[in-house]
Structure 1
Amino acid sequence: MYLLHNFQVVPEQNFTLSYTNRAFQYNDGLFDTIIISNGQIRFLPDHLERMQRALQILQIQVPTELQNTDVLLPLLQNLAEQNRLSHQTGRLKVHIWRSPGGLFTPDHHTAESLITLQPQATFNKNIPRADFATSVQNTYSPLSFFKGPFAVNYVLASLEKKHRQLDELILLNDQGAVSEALIANIFWVKDSILYTPALQSGCIAGIVRKNVLRLGATENLKIEEGLFTKTDVLSAETVFTSNVTGLRPIQFVGQKEFSIHHPILDQLNTLLFTD
């Protein structure tokens, strides 16, 4: 396998990481997940915007390669070609961290990076069983909109999901409001209105979530963001998750069954994921 280390292609066996790495020492960085399919990337400008905003908050300089899609896309396409995935669907994982130096107070603000590419795993289009998390809670902060600072929360939630033999877990925040699914945002439909938790719930500012909200203006969809309860979700007609792999309807939340078909869900799938 080939990697992009500081935007240079290197064989996996030649890659090393020092113990001084600040992502390892202090979790001083971020990561993002991007889907590449047949050499093309949906929503790449949105991914870059979120990473740029996160790096600015972390006071890490934004690498030149992350400032322009015309610069980054050929690098990612070349990585796919090197890994013989040019004509397949792959999952890119982008790690950005601060250069080594210092203890909690860093010596530098420059960035280092690693981008890996794996074939995208197949999964069911529907989520058979979900329930609300009991072991972990989300907390809103200026850092909660991007991936990385609270990753251990999702690790613990994944362990709960596995222990309870569920297919998905719905996280609440520390005030009891619905926040998000385990690795996706969450939406539900009731009376032709689409609902989703606000960022103040502590959820990730998901890329597909952002594009669904955009469609609210252009396609005359009624969408409400807010702080909602479990009862709000359980009273819905349809519940589904969203991330860059797609929209996935949930069949059961606890003992409550939901329809996995809805005109609004079909409309969003067509608008977002049909070429």
Structure 2
Amino acid sequence: MINFNGELLPDTSLFLNQQNRAWRYGDGLFETIRVVNSKIFFWEEHYLRLMASMRILRMEIPMNFTMEYLEGEIGRTISENSLNTAAVRVRLGVYRKPGGLYLPQSRGVEYVIETAPLKNPFYTLEEKGETVELFKDHWVSSGLLSTLKSNNRIINVLASVYADENGYDNCLLLNEKKNVVEAINGNIFLVKGNTIKTPPLSDGCINGVLRKQLIGIISKMEDYTLEEASVSPFELQKSDELFTTNVIRGICPVSAYRKKRFATGVSRNLLAKLNLHVRLGGDNR
């Protein structure tokens, strides 16, 4: 079952048509959320990011779009799919109401909530790690719009096809200044000595929810210094360790970039701290 504007419908329902603005113009946003035993991980951060993104896109936020309302609708959808005691991937999509050409007839929005079960309730380290390569065919534009979880993800799609065709697990995206911005499906962190570095939002990377959690965790670690600064491709092979992050997988180590092989010690340490952070409450509800 899916949740369309508060109405629970079978997955096979035809509830969207050719007038949908997310399909026509990419005029939409989405949040990918991890839920375990009906507890939403980092819900406040997801909600605040969604509200801020809607304002940036000049969407009219409904009066009932409160944290409590959307949390309840997510819970209701999970319950309807008998996933209350499971680990669940939730996709909350918000898009402008149909009508108009580039100029919308309405600033109001509609939403869809989808669910899918996950295998593990805890974040686990993928032992194999990922082999990565730079995606150079197209670049991410640095600036505010690139930090949003919008429906405009064609570069990610093309990079995924490139990775599949060339035998890589993931690709790293560049901006117009040829700095490394992020991976296809998450933010990226580099470890060199006692410094952990990640690209700044001003370079165009997604304003990741887990990125923010890890920045908070790392800032409390006495043995490491966090640096938010532009990353040159030349830094990749000089790093001791690379890893990518998103709220569904947690931390995924990079095992290889070209001829360079990477360690996983910091990834393991951070993953343990992340799981503890979640169990103790963190910023989730």
Q: Tell me the TM-score normalized by structure 1.
A: 0.92
1:11 deviates by 2.1
Kept in 1: contact 2:34–2:89 (CA 8 A)? yes
Q: Which moved more, 1:97-106 or 1:124-133?
A: 124-133
In the alignment, structure 1 residue 150 sits paired with structure 2 residue 152: yes
Q: 5 Å matches for 1:5-84?
A: 5-64=4-63, 66-68=65-67, 70-84=68-82
1:215 deviates by 2.5
1:150 deviates by 3.1
In structure 2, C-alpha distance between the alignment counterparts of 1:63 and 1:219, rounded to whole Å: 41
Q: Any idea what the Cα deviations from partners look like across 1:26-51, whole Å, max 9, x if unmatched? A: 11111121111111111111111111
Q: 5 Å matches for 1:112-261?
A: 112-120=110-118, 125-126=126-127, 127-220=129-222, 221-244=224-247, 245-261=249-265
In structure 2, C-alpha distance between the alignment counterparts of 1:236 and 1:157, rounded to whole Å: 23
RMSD of aligned Cα (Å)? 1.9
1:133 deviates by 1.3
Kept in 1: contact 2:22–2:151 (CA 8 A)? no
In structure 2, C-alpha distance between the alignment counterparts of 1:5 and 1:118, rounded to whole Å: 16
Task: For CA contacts below 8 A with separation 6 or more, give which structure has more relative contact order.
Answer: 2
Q: Which moved more, 1:213-222 or 1:174-183?
A: 213-222
1:102 deviates by 1.6
The residue number in structure 2 matching 1:95 is: 93
The residue number in structure 2 matching 1:266 is: 268
Q: Which moved more, 1:223-232 or 1:146-155?
A: 146-155
Kept in 1: contact 2:91–2:114 (CA 8 A)? yes
Q: Any idea what the Cα deviations from partners look like across 1:212-264, whole Å, max 9, x if unmatched? A: 122344444411011111121211111101100210111101110011223xx
* Paired letter, 2:260: K
In structure 2, C-alpha distance between the alignment counterparts of 1:133 and 1:120, rounded to whole Å: 29
Return 5+ residue gaps in structure 2 as ranges.
280-285
In structure 2, C-alpha distance between the alignment counterparts of 1:121 and 1:180, rounded to whole Å: 25
| Structure 2 SS opposite 1:134 | strand
In structure 2, C-alpha distance between the alignment counterparts of 1:159 and 1:121, rounded to whole Å: 25
In structure 1, C-alpha distance between the alignment counterparts of 2:231 and 2:12, rounded to whole Å: 48
Q: Which moved more, 1:190-199 or 1:10-19?
A: 10-19
Q: Tell me the TM-score normalized by structure 2.
A: 0.89
1:121 deviates by 6.0
1:124 deviates by 6.9
Q: Any idea what the Cα deviations from partners look like across 1:118-175, whole Å, max 9, x if unmatched? A: 1236797142311111322111132111122531110000000101111111111111
Q: Any idea what the Cα deviations from partners look like across 1:75-109, whole Å, max 9, x if unmatched? A: 21221121122222121111111112221111211
Question: Using a 3 Å threshold, how does the CA distance of structure 1 residues 270 and 64 change in structure 2: closer, same or farther?
Answer: farther
Q: Which moved more, 1:19-28 or 1:56-65?
A: 56-65
| Structure 2 SS opposite 1:136 | strand
In structure 2, C-alpha distance between the alignment counterparts of 1:15 and 1:47, rounded to whole Å: 28
Tell me how many residue pairs correspond in the alignment.
271
* Paired letter, 1:95: G
Return 5+ residue gaps in structure 1 as ranges.
none
Kept in 2: contact 1:144–1:150 (CA 8 A)? no
* Paired letter, 2:118: Q
Question: Using a 3 Å threshold, how does the CA distance of structure 1 residues 64 and 39 change in structure 2: closer, same or farther?
Answer: farther
In structure 2, C-alpha distance between the alignment counterparts of 1:195 and 1:41, rounded to whole Å: 28
In the alignment, structure 1 residue 4 sits paired with structure 2 residue 39: no
1:14 deviates by 3.6
